[in-house]
Structure 1
Amino acid sequence: MPNAPRKVFGVSTEQRTAWDLTRRISPRDQVRVMKRDAYGRLDENNYPLIHRVGPVEPTTPWAMNLADDTGLFRFLCFDFDGKIQGAVDAELMEQAADQCDALSRILDELSIEHVVCQSSGTGGRHLWIALQDGAAKSNVAPVARVAQVTYSQLDFGMLLNTVTGAARPPLSPHRDGSHSTVLRGSLAALAAPSTTTADLAALARLLEERKPALRAQESRPSGPVDTHHRGHRALSAAGAAHMATIDGGSNPSWTGFMCLLSVANAGWTLQDVEHAVKSAPGMEHYRTKNTGRGGRRPRSAGEARARLERQWNVAVQYAALQRPLPAQKPPEDLTELDAIVTGVADLLERFRVNPGRWGATEATSNQQTILRALAYLTLQTGKRVVAASIRDLGPMAGLGRTTAANALIALTEAGYVEKVTASDEGNAAEWRLVSTFSTTPRTVRSQPLHNPRPPAADLPVVTRSADELFNTRAALVAQLEAQLTDQRHDLFTRRGLGHLAGKLYALLKQHSSVTVETAARLLGVTARHTATILGRLRRHKLLVSHRDGWARSKQDLRDQAAKILGVAGTLLARLERYRVEREVWAWWQAEVTTMNTHPRHRPKRPHVSSRPLFEASNAGERVWPRYPRSSDNLADHRCALELVAAGNLNPESRWQYLGDAA
């Protein structure tokens, strides 16, 4: 009978129950199943037992291997989830849905058949692709690595594991009582695979073209742009493009955050953002929400404002971290970048395996943070030697300039960093991480002057290895950004809960829960000290009790805790103080230059109380007024600080200095 339905493991392909579907498509003759605890519950999300693929259905949820016994992938499952170590986060879950939709549209462009499922009642997504004739790990790895840096909510580990990589198949039950539900696509596409290794290569290439830039806000828009949209304040070209992206593009949540990051870098306020969100096409995410069925519906006013404020706070932290970064430059060489990426990965591994070295004292903990900031600058610039002032490194890490200076001195003495050049005439000192970076045997030239980027299309020989290098670099940058921004908050300054409390709070994003002993081991401090830190975090409701110890609270109450402790605004005040100090220093250098110039060649300088007509941002063209002097004609630096802080040197200031500053 030529038209008879095909049978796999004795099951007709026309049947559509969960277990029957698994029997038809399973690459192996066994699946992994959950195990109930002593009380009959399914609290742990793991699959320790093995169950034969046969007529008898498992009594607990099961996971199907993606690869067969020979190590060939028969299926790919892209798992998008919005949980923070087991706890559902509504914002992250919506991001997961948007990212799954974006990947689904890319697959539609390539005519790759796929099935999108809502994996459980919490709203996660599984996107399935069936592979014709299977695919080796070498064919799947490029897709997995570029997807890792493109989609923040993707769990990509199973796509690199041919031995135990597994996922719950469509229609299968979840431990919370729900089932995997098909949202888009046909299950027949899984029973009759059509995707080839050539399709995977095309997918990897397209993802490489559209992945975010290393500095995400400089990425291309995720959709068509409304050329008629004009913002009420100036933005960079990339920021304006994100703002004008029609309906938020293919990934509205990502586009919305790129808008916030761009305006935070441009110096906008929250009031400016609230004005822009009313009409900017790219900020659709803050007006409507993903329904999970391919459409969007309006948010309530309270929900929209709360989400915008939370995301704005995150964008401000990222902008502060990225502010000291220099402008990107054309490429030179990949060899140096390879050594840098390897070295930074080694440094982070050293932090992980030897926490006691960096947690013994407050000083060593600060040193570790400064090392992370230097590693971040090194990865972003693609250069071994980076210029970094203490007034840049300190705020990046949430520390003061004096603390940063002391940390650099200690790290230099310990051999972790090397000062290449000292600060000179207003230029920041240059530093080099030397303890973990070593020149690879392939290095054949000196340090390149410019930041490398992926090779051009006319260099196909190195494309695969170069793509992997840049994806690894992007993943390390994202890891460092998450660590530095999570612990950078007013609450975790010294007058607040302390820098170590910030480190523990950041660690709890990577761990579902910690006990006192586990936290002490991760931080490298004593259990008694750790208990004190946990108690402080718990007192301000940043932690909640967990059956296995302590877990991070779902609601971020750091701002409220900072207000209670009276430290809200500490980091902003510190940044303003450093800005004033920089301007006073530049003013004094101009004064010294004038004093050392022949009287006939000295420029005519207005009195400090004079009103400047326009602002010359170029330091070389700026005409500085007379530096304030005391009654004995010595430089009055205190008065200079007060004048700059009051805005008297700013042409936009409304007020004039009326005191005697002759």
Structure 2
Amino acid sequence: MFELCTREWSPRPRVRVDAQRMHDYLSTSAMPATAPTVPWAIHLAGTDHRFRLLAFDLDSGRHGADIARSDALRLCGVLDELGVAHLRTASGPTGGQHVWVRLAEPGASADSVRHLAHALRQHYPSLDTAPLTNPATGAVRPPGAPHRHGGYSLPYLDESLPYLDERALTGTLARMSVGTAPEVVQWLLARHPHTELPERPDRARAVRIIDGPAGPRLDRPRRPLTARTRALLTATPSAGTDRSALAHSILLGMATAGHSLADIAAAVDAAPGLVRLRDDRDRGRDDTARQWQRALAAAARFPVTTGDDRDPIDDELDRVDTAVTADPARWARPGGASDERILHALCVLARTARTRTLDIDVRRLAEAAAVHASTVSRRLRVLAGEGWVTRVRAGSGTKASTWELNLPQLGATQGEPAPAVSPGTPLALLEHHTHDVWSNRAGLGGAFARIHWAVLEFGKHVSSAHGRIPLVAFVAAATGYTRGTITRTLDKLHTLGLLPTSPGTSRKSMDRTAHLLGATGTAADRAHRHLVDRELHRWWIEELEWRRRPGKKRGVRPVPRGSLALPIAAPARARYGRFPTGDDGRADYHAARTIVSTALGYFPLPHLTVI
């Protein structure tokens, strides 16, 4: 297994190694002669950044093992229909799945694979897109590699014959040795209808990263650090500061100013702002070089500036984040938890798109905020009335509405945000608030999520200053809810085993409780349902256009499911045929939904009664 799936499959002569079993794969090693005893991963793309492997990592961490297995089964079904040789593996004891496809020369371009990853994510919510969107470092554990929690990545060929069947495995590996034509990327795109990601505005061409005598740096003249970066570098972090985010902000500023790894190493020795990197180094786990490469990669995409070391959009969105979190009591009102979540979701999406103006439909925003689409529609009107957002253009046909996040007005005495304000905080908060355990299926909801988050913050930020503040008082200040509401909620959280007993236990307890309450997979089910809704709407719009077209009309036969892939932009009527109608001639939406659901392989979760 090692000789074939690692040494032969790998497009590079080196592997990434998780020597400490910390899931970081920071170390690299020349291709070993025998299988290592620690987890290792192989790159998916060669040094030319063209993909020779497609590894679809269906992770159980977010939606649970059942969703990961279901997604893997559906994806393998599509590959079978296309006649693509592939290998499915169970990645380890946690229930994650990997689906491998080998590509023939010259491989697939990084842009086309990145496009495919984002399209498939709309169909398979458990898909981890990171390995497929980073041709430089994207890597996945190959078949036969150990898992950090025990066990190995083992071939999983058939639902009725789990794991190894030597004859079937030998046949599959033999078919994969030929390599699939790179056009499989386009075939998969054609089989998975999707909405395009919002295009980023034109930016200056990326700056090269060069490896000089003092280590890697951007290919630009070295200049003094800005006042903001100097302040972050020399100030001692206050209690509660996200020290990792602070270090990244400093490294980003130094990278933009043309500094090198040698400058960073010198700063780590004494600079108060880089205490996180210094502590890691002193504990024998020096992460400076990796964090510097990460900062260089981010800074290389920014145009050269002379007055600041950050992209203006980041400062603008920091202002929005600060305004959202400034008055917690605002979101304790009815519907406030949804309002807060929607605004945080818009901020996260805006950071990804690098613009405050977003073309986004209510279903996509509902998935990002983990609320119902009708709730998003109602609450956006409320937020628009309060000045948080503005609808720039109404949706039309299959085009989504355009919304703009408004900048809050700065007060006369308000200055630059404190270093403790971290752009990463809204993302962490959103990942917490959108967990399945807070869904209506679990019977908890947004208020429980806000109070639980405040409890976690109390545990992280407690210090000599905060230690004298009782938990209920701290949560009341952080959420705006009454003490009675907080006390009742804390009792319920305690009963469900959701109150953290030690650092790092909150995520596991949330996963466990969601499973016990029958809520695991709620977000995935919502994403699938919305995908069907979008396809159904697109089909009906095309049907209306066809009916209104003058002249003689010809019907369209749907393409059989197992036939050759359609072009990416194929009309819905070519995929599904004529929109079904009843005996009275009216559109039969129930029958149409069944057709689309079957074509997309979507079957909703059964309704589970929560006791």
Taking structure 1 as the reference length, the TM-score comes to: 0.45
Q: Which has the higher contact order (CA 8 A, sep 6+)?
A: 2
Larger Rg: 1
Taking structure 2 as the reference length, the TM-score comes to: 0.48
